[in-house]
Structure 1
């Protein structure tokens, strides 16, 4: 299903069944300042630009920059409401309330300081009843923060709700050290205490080009927004690894930028070499990728340049970059306003939202950290896996539904930046061509087709090289046969082993070739067989056979 990327207003959608789940609208406010924060556990690359909001959909809010967003919701801990950031890139719940410990909570003696690239949060592990998006958990472990220096607090939020797997949870690891198993993540407990609920969450992190539009997305547990119910009909996208992943990681096939396919590689052990392991992280504003990929996106744009001081690309604001990612064989177009958003401090300057990093973004655990600039273009379901009849949870997976029409997105772009919109922009996964006229028709599989074409071109030459090598081997065998025949007619030989010829040496017994009986100075010097590799780059023909007159004397 394709929809316009103009602002969408979402009413509160209640479940039609007995389920407690509900769809909550997410809203935005004007960014107060440029804040770049780095989360621990993601190699220190996660920028957060915060926006305060409520989950009831009643507050009037405003914003003058559609790219200064994170996504927040209400959570009830110990009977009191708090505002938290929704973060699929982490797995811990931490709250800094007006008093410590939080009312109606049970603190433990386990203390910890969570360090971030910028900021920190210090507190003790506590337990309290939690209610989140209509789901109740009777006892949830969380970090009850007493002191903190974290950018999220300056935007009227009280903490972070990690929506990832328990295996990534610091709180769970701390509790496990005491021999207990009660530190599991918020969503693990939400589904375990409410087995009647489908085990998934869903996000629409949409942005708008209109300053008076309020709602920019929805969040739900156990159901989808009615506008995007078709997401449940899409194919399952396995996590990587498929069993017991630590993060919401999937495999990226490749990307297309302005009609050109860009291949990807991986630094993750066990991942296919022609794919990239990417983490879907709602807690990150931008996307962090390799230097080569960022250059492929922005390097061909006229007037764009890399700013090493800010570690980012600067792009002319009127340059439309039409781009799509291919995941599990499906193309997902991105909104060009999200590929080159206007700067936070200087709106007249536009920047690349794909940030280049070093050799490996995820230090060998993943290759890309995909943030809100990409996730705003898809409706995403994060499924933790269903329980079977024995109560065991199946493998997790992701489902994605594109919510971007690239032609309408081009109109949005030029309404904001000026100029003329493109038309007939088409992205096709697979090998079938599509699109006509002045549009952009692309195919990520073109690289494979080019490779096969090259193989077809050079295959006859390869066969010729192999035939030549075979001829050389045959000539060598003939020469060796002639050489052995000539030697046989002059003096007798004794064959020892395969491919070696020994001649009786002075002082050695003619009836025995026991090397231990020989004086050390009379030890034989033997010649190893020549490797007959047939590859063009490693094959080296052996030296011509010696003739009778120039054969070297034996060495004793």
Structure 2
């Protein structure tokens, strides 16, 4: 299982001196807990396919909601562990992973060098991209950004580096001109044979372009933050409202077990809320910023925004009343499959499965009987409680040497409950809500989905 959230190449404490991988930014939202009234999306783009966590979820173009509306479908890839959508870069078509846990849009350029996660050279095909890559020479609108470099390392160890440029990037009906993108020529990528890169939707301070041509010299001191795709779309007035929304559908257990690609697994909506059935449970909460000196979430003057971080008031499950489950350093990340919660919460919850789930260091997850009884699990944010369907809490994870199916739970150990540790609500949570992000106002609206 790959954790796509870019978890910490920039140590948040002492950020000015820190060596980087990726980070976040500060909350402008008032602390109202009333749900914002959200318009239907201008553009609704289906997620185009399913691939397992490093096999994306992509979907074909979905119904537009109104003439200026863009909702694109997302598909599931890599056995439903990643969500993909169709993106055009310089007139060339790619399926890209939709990631709210990072900020860069990148596509490897044709002729890139492939490596394993230890930096050993591999054949280009071993990176398993869905296409040969982006042909810079074939784009009439590409412009090189000289004397800088793109350099990123994800939480699962994958890394990319190389040149930077500007080109037209289109998602559904939204086309942004002069968008800054990475066009790496070095890649360590455990691909799914479907995706050819990633479109990041988090904050500018988490972008990964540096004022150096030597990737080993990339640091906070020479970072050159830029506007990610959605920020550019807002500034170029390509959307009427500064919202984007994701509704990630779960695949069936059989699809997750057997199919490397599932089409039409939800929507990425630009300009409003995604077009799926919801119930009345909804809340709007501020995005948590981070102190520039301590790296601890706060919304004081001078704090920074990086990820879509929320303050979790509690996790509720059998036995949870015996624990402190409040957590204010939790990010909403479409690029991570599992929920990663503090160790004591993960241990207590997984012990409630019948038979109980067992932590397996080889998997980095809790192994469980595929037919186990799933305990209830709820997340309270902004005074509203959101339930997670039990179908999201048992996932197929391959077979053993005898060919028997192995399953893991959807709630994993994210480490000790330290103030500067980052935790994740991934697709296991996001399958159950519509998450509507307003990075300009610094707030997120969560709406419980109807059962599907």
Using the size of structure 1 for normalisation, the TM-score is 0.56
The answer to whether the 8 A contact 2:49-2:58 is kept is yes
Alignment-derived partner of residue 444 in structure 2 = 398
User: Which of 408, 429, 438 does residue 374 from structure 1 map onto?
Assistant: 429
Aligned partners of 1:70, 1:178: CA distance in 2, in Å? 32
Alignment-derived partner of residue 87 in structure 1 = 99
Considering only aligned residues, what root-mean-square deviation do their CA atoms show, in Å?
3.6
Answer yes or no: is 1:250 the counterpart of 2:325. no
Alignment-derived partner of residue 26 in structure 1 = 47
Q: Report Cα offsets for 1:453-475 as digits up to 9, x if no partner.
A: xxxxxxxxxxxxxxxxxxxxxxx
Answer yes or no: is 1:106 the counterpart of 2:143. yes
Of structures 1 and 2, the one scoring higher in RCO (CA 8 A, sep 6+) is 2
The answer to whether the 8 A contact 2:247-2:276 is kept is no
User: Which of 352, 356, 361 does residue 308 from structure 1 map onto?
Assistant: 361
C-alpha deviation, 1:341, in angstroms: 1.7
Instruction: Name the SS for the 2:276 alignment partner.
Output: helix
The answer to whether the 8 A contact 2:101-2:308 is kept is yes
Alignment-derived partner of residue 222 in structure 1 = 271
Aligned partners of 1:309, 1:179: CA distance in 2, in Å? 37
Alignment-derived partner of residue 170 in structure 1 = 208
Q: Report Cα offsets for 1:195-244 as digits up to 9, x if no partner.
A: 6521111111011437588532111100223434778x943211113564
Please identify which structure carries the higher helix content. 1
Q: Note closer, same or farther for the CA distance 1:320–1:87 as it changes in structure 2 (3 Å cut).
A: same
Runs of 4+ in 1 over 4 A off after TM superposition: 172-182, 210-214, 228-231, 363-366
Aligned partners of 1:215, 1:334: CA distance in 2, in Å? 21
Alignment-derived partner of residue 204 in structure 1 = 247
Q: Report Cα offsets for 1:463-495 as digits up to 9, x if no partner.
A: xxxxxxxxxxxxxxxxxxxxxxxxxxxxxxxxx
Q: Report Cα offsets for 1:402-460 as digits up to 9, x if no partner.
A: 1155xxx8xxxxxxxxxxxxxxxxxxxxxxxxxxxxxxxxxxxxxxxxxxxxxxxxxxx
Q: Note closer, same or farther for the CA distance 1:157–1:275 as it changes in structure 2 (3 Å cut).
A: closer
C-alpha deviation, 1:178, in angstroms: 11
Alignment-derived partner of residue 14 in structure 2 = none
Unaligned runs of 5+ in 1: 1-16, 32-47, 266-273, 386-394, 410-556
The answer to whether the 8 A contact 1:172-1:185 is kept is no
User: Which of 226, 230, 254 does residue 187 from structure 1 map onto?
Assistant: 230
Alignment-derived partner of residue 379 in structure 2 = 325
C-alpha deviation, 1:280, in angstroms: 0.1
Q: Report Cα offsets for 1:373-398 as digits up to 9, x if no partner.
A: 1111111101123xxxxxxxxx3111
Aligned partners of 2:176, 2:389: CA distance in 1, in Å? 38
Answer yes or no: is 1:127 the counterpart of 2:166. yes
Instruction: Name the SS for the 1:373 alignment partner.
Output: helix
The answer to whether the 8 A contact 1:142-1:171 is kept is no
Aligned partners of 2:394, 2:386: CA distance in 1, in Å? 17
Alignment-derived partner of residue 53 in structure 1 = 58
Alignment-derived partner of residue 484 in structure 1 = none
Alignment-derived partner of residue 142 in structure 1 = 181
User: Which of 389, 392, 405 does residue 348 from structure 1 map onto?
Assistant: 405
The answer to whether the 8 A contact 1:21-1:133 is kept is no
C-alpha deviation, 1:259, in angstroms: 6.9
How many residue pairs get aligned? The number is 349
Instruction: Name the SS for the 2:233 alignment partner.
Output: helix
Aligned partners of 2:306, 2:94: CA distance in 1, in Å? 27
Aligned partners of 1:173, 1:402: CA distance in 2, in Å? 43
Alignment-derived partner of residue 392 in structure 1 = none
C-alpha deviation, 1:298, in angstroms: 0.8
Aligned partners of 1:180, 1:303: CA distance in 2, in Å? 49
Aligned partners of 1:249, 1:142: CA distance in 2, in Å? 24
C-alpha deviation, 1:173, in angstroms: 7.4
